[in-house]
Structure 1
Amino acid sequence: MQPLTEQLWKKLRSANPEQVEMALLRARAQGFNLKPWEQEYAELRQYIPLPYYAEQHEAVAACYAVQELDLSERELSSLPAVLANLRHVEVLDLRNNELTALPTWLNAWSNLKEVYLENNQISALSADFLAHSRLELLQLSNNQLKALPAAILGLPSLQRLDLSHNNISSLPNLEEEQLPNLSFLALNDNPISQIWVNIGQLTKLQTLQLQNCLLQQLPESICSLFALQNLWLQNNQLRHLPAQIGQLRSLELLQLAQNELQELPDSLDRLASLKQLNLKENALQHLPKLEGLASLELLHLEHNQLQHLPSDFARLGRLKMAYLQGNDLDRLPLILDALRALEVLHIESNPIEQLPDSLVDLPNLQRLFAAHTQIKSLPRRLRQKLEQLDIEGTPLANGEPQEETEQEAFSHHPTAQENEEGPSHSPKGCMLPGLGIVLLLIIALIYGVTLF
């Protein structure tokens, strides 16, 4: 592709906007690279009057070989018929207009590969338009579709399909071998209550967006999407997850916030590639094993009903940010040394009274948010190492004992057994052995008694 020279661009800038538009259409048709000038081109083209295309039959016809046609943000309510002969177009951008339907002559554009129609007012698409076997991308978000056109499912080359932010309430049947190349599917922000029972046949799917729908359950076949990397399910009505969710071995992001989950399947521990897990604002009372989440970097558990964390929480060696606020936690695991990547820890609004000493040994911990807890003391070294510390609404902030001395903070180092069972407590009045011997020697010296 030839670059558009700066000298030629200066000439175009000196011309009127209409001449610029047609010159650039010709430039695209002749294979010139317009990328270096796209921003300025966008600023110029907004001044071109809409009827101009209809008046330039010969000029537009001369651009019959153009492969990319950008008519976005033009307040179009219809497309000028003069464009009908541009049948070599592969990329059609009609974003941010006022289109309610597409003209029938577009059905003859058999070379279309990418069609951008988001932010219009389209309520239906003809089956003939959806017969383009070469179509790889179809962007229809923010329109007025009430149903997913069944013909879309018959597009063999389709890789990306975005139907988000419409009014789709049901889906047509997904037949065997349909959408074999689909890698991205967005159905979010539609009143959908069920998805395909056989969605597992979309074996190339990498991103599935189903957030802000009305889903109450997921089909078991979703666990067969072995290529899936991103699964968005927040703000639905899910009460449980499929038992074999752990089969999604490629999954890197799992968004489950704002559902009605009370428990999680044990197989969750097998998501070894998972980097981000969001479970905030559910009804979780306990967690399964987490140790297998070896890649986890971001964990959202805020605003659940958790009373304790599993001991293997402390083995999430790559975890950078943990959000635990708004639960019923009265303590953290005592041994946290393995959380060496942890940078941010949120524990606000929990009845925690004491922090484990091992927090001091976390080399990357920078921010600790402990507001509205019952913490009464902090190790001095912990205060010194933190870049940000929030203790608003705690006994510390209310003028009660402020901090432990160095000796107090580090006099006890819990064992692995204590991390599982909690701290052990010596009987009241029990004195340390070394101190007892010293006292006996002093008494013996005073009264002249021989002890040995």
Structure 2
Amino acid sequence: MFNKKQLFPLLILAYVFSADCRRSPQEILETAAKNPSIIDKLDLGLGKMGQIPPVLFTFPNLKWLDLRMNELTSLPENTGDWSSLEYLNIYGNDIDKLPDSFQKLPKLKFFFAGNNDFETIPLQLIGTPIEAVYLDSNKIIFNEADVDTVLKITHLEVLDLARNRKIESMPKNLSSLASHPKLRMIIFKETGLKPSQVEAARKLLPKLKLEF
């Protein structure tokens, strides 16, 4: 139990923290822009921005960017200019495709794109060093073309397709994923697949973990 002397500074810290959490993306970016070279992380989630402001491309060392739930319908054509980016979160927007420049991201490893409007696994992931892709709660069917795309994302280790309700069968070329150099897990939780279909897929791909 805290006494009054101990509790007071804790309350002050809680107030400062909560006040900071209420800052708008505009306020966060205005502060960050004063020293752009030292910024490596920006959390702009829940900001209702609607579009990406140009100032976001003025941070040369930006590695971690959270844009979740910002009412975005697209990413800018110059997305590939985020040359230091390793982590990108666009969860909970209305994006259905990626700009071609996405392929030029030289360091991207983690991509969180759940709860958007993707119907296929984006071709623009090919050529990136990406290791984990989260496309849960989208509109993906997971067909033969998607398997071909996954095969070309050569550094991919984890693919999350959970809650894509339109996935109701396994692609005919699923077994080709056995030749993928890095892939070790695909998540199919809460899709339209039946347990028997997943079990059959596990026999085809014994070295790949299929979560269901």
1:390 corresponds to which of 184, 187, 203? 187
Segments of 5+ residues of structure 1 without an aligned counterpart are 1-74, 76-95, 100-118, 122-139, 145-163, 167-186, 191-209, 227-247, 404-452
Larger radius of gyration between Structure 1 and Structure 2:
1
Listed as ranges, the matches of 1:65-214 within 5 Å are 98-99=4-5, 119-121=6-8, 140=9, 142-144=10-12, 164-166=13-15, 187-190=16-19, 210-211=20-21, 213=22
Relative to the length of structure 1, the TM-score reads 0.37
> For residue 148 of structure 1, what is the aligned residue in structure 2?
none
SS of the residue corresponding to residue 268 of structure 1 reads: helix
Superimposed CA distance per residue, residues 358-397 of structure 1 (whole angstroms, 9 cap, x where no aligned partner): 3213333111111222344263232564322112343554
Q: SS where residue 218 of structure 1 aligns? A: helix
Task: Please state how far the C-alpha of 1:293 moved relative to its aligned partner.
Answer: 0.9
User: Contact 2:71–2:94 at 8 Å: present in 1 too?
Assistant: yes
Structure 1 residues 397, 266: CA separation in 2 closer, same or farther (over 3 Å shift)? farther
1:389 match: secondary structure: strand
Q: Contact 2:147–2:177 at 8 Å: present in 1 too? A: no
Give the deviation of 1:345 after TM superposition: 0.8
1:295 is the counterpart of 2:84:
yes
Instruction: Verify: 1:380 aligned to 2:175, yes or no.
Output: yes
* Residue number among 34, 50, 53 corresponding to 1:225 in the alignment: 34
Structure 1 residue 262, shift from structure 2 partner: 1.1
Amino acid aligned to 1:255: D
Q: Aligned pair in 2 of structure 1 residues 251, 214: CA closer, same or farther (>3 Å)?
A: closer
Letter in 2 for 1:324: A
Instruction: Return the match for 1:272 from 60, 66, 78.
Output: 60
Aligned length: 190
Q: Gaps spanning 5+ residues in structure 2: where?
A: 202-212
Higher helix content, 1 or 2: 2
Q: Distance in 1 between matches of 2:26 and 2:110?
A: 29
Mapped to 1, the partners of 2:156 and 2:195 lie a distance apart of 25
Aligned partner of 1:331 among 117, 120, 124? 120
Aligned partners of 1:345, 1:253: CA distance in 2, in Å?
20
SS in 1 for 2:96: coil
Check conservation: 1:337, 1:358, Cα contact below 8 A. yes
Distance 1:284 1:383, change over 3 A: farther
The aligned residue for residue 153 of structure 2 is: 362
CA distance in 2, matches of 1:367, 1:384: 15
Contact 1:334 1:357 in 2 (8 A): no
Please show how residues 413-432 of structure 1 align to structure 2 within 5 Å. none
Q: Equivalent residue of 1:189, what SS?
A: helix
Percent identical: 23
- Comparing both chains, which one has the higher relative contact order based on Cα–Cα distances under 8 Å and sequence gaps of 6 or more? 2
8 Å contact from structure 2 (residues 47, 70) kept in 1: yes
* 1:304 corresponds to 2:93: yes
TM-score normalized by structure 2?
0.74
Q: 1:316 to 1:380 in 2, by over 3 A?
A: farther
> Residue 380 and residue 282 in structure 1: after superposition, are their counterparts in 2 closer, same or farther (change >3 A)?
same
Amino acid at match of 1:120: L
Amino acid at match of 2:66: N
